[in-house]
Amino acid sequence: MSRRRTPALLTAALLTAGLVGCSGPAPVAEPRNPPADPPKSATPAPRVPAGTAPEKSFAVGVRQLKLNRDGDRPLPVTVWYPAAGRAGGAPERSATAAGGRFPVVMFSHGLGGRPDDYATLLTRWAAAGFVVAAPTFPHTARGTEVNVLDVLNQPADVSYALTQVLALDGKAGDPLRGHLAGDRVAAAGHSAGGVTTIGLFTAGRDERLDAGVVFAGTALGVGTGFAGAAAPQLFVHGELDEVVEYAAGKAAYDAVPWPKAMLSLTRGDHGRALLTDGDALRVVSDTTVEFLRWSLYGDAAAKRRIPTDAARDGLATLDNHL
């Protein structure tokens, strides 16, 4: 399939479906850097050495970063992080970071969404010992003039934001100085953010990434040429998804050549399991936390807990090749 046809297919699919909150047609423009076919992966094993994830639950701090890529792509980033203090309360703005170094997870929102829409899930990741950084994209977020084709520019946005976030580890006076494990990094995203995340492992491969979590994603526009060092992938998809068909997510998952698992939500639709605090979100949260504990901390016990967490109460099934 030609690269010229691929953006057209992405536009048709995403505009017709109206991903997460998109209320109408969006203007079409050519992406800055059309994806190219990357080299195939030759690395069979994950890179993160064995270790142990924190057992405690942390308080959560939250802060905002004002970033701008190339001077014309504003990328405000919301950062949730493990904080000192008593766990269980609401995230505290600019709280003191907890002691230790924590892996980083870059999260990409869906079309017409914003990072705060996913705060319940992302604060749970932070409480489990991860720094979560979520850009607000300039042309696909709610409140912008949405352009679906700009999704193809978002993998580069995430890579830029990751560079800026990791730089905080050495920045004098920054609250996160000395607290970021820059050699343990994952990318995650929902819907159009899932497309963005797949792109970070295919056409826009960022070799700093050690793992990926794709919620309701598809490979349209970014391809299934997974490249570079092996990076375990967890796909999460509702079997009743009315926007991105389950089969499209499964096709992308099937193309992953690395350790992988797919959590299928039996009664799940396109997004409510991530946005509404209920039983489905509990299963998604617990499963993704254990996956991140294994893939970023190297915690083998967390890996063994994944099937049990995923299969509870008949809410989901797990195809597990981790």
pLDDT tens-digit readout, 268-322:
999 887 788 899 999 999 999 999 999 999 999 999 999 776 776 789 999 999 9
Could you give the CA distance from residue 300 to residue 314 in angstroms, rounded to a whole number?
Answer: 25
- Residue 74: burial class (beta carbons within 10 Å; 0-12, 13-18, 19+): middle
Q: What angle do CA 122, 119, 88 make, to 5 degrees?
A: 75
pLDDT, average across residues 164-169? 98
Q: How many CB atoms lie within 10 A of CB 11?
A: 20
pLDDT value of position 208: 98
Could you give the CA distance from residue 184 to residue 105 in angstroms, rounded to a whole number?
Answer: 9
pLDDT, average across residues 190-213? 98
Under DSSP, the state recorded for 251 is H
E strands in the chain = 59-69, 73-83, 92-93, 102-108, 131-135, 180-190, 211-215, 233-238, 260-265, 316-321
pLDDT value of position 273: 78
Q: Is the distance from CB of 126 to CB of 118 less than 8 angstroms?
A: no
Token representation of residue 72: 């014309």
pLDDT value of position 46: 66
pLDDT value of position 45: 59
pLDDT, average across residues 198-217? 98
Could you give the CA distance from residue 236 to residue 241 in angstroms, rounded to a whole number?
Answer: 11
pLDDT value of position 308: 72
Residue 320 β-bridge partners: 261
pLDDT value of position 25: 35
Token representation of residue 77: 């980033």
Q: What percent of the chain has pLDDT over 70?
A: 84
pLDDT value of position 23: 30
pLDDT tens-digit readout, 151-160:
999 999 999 9
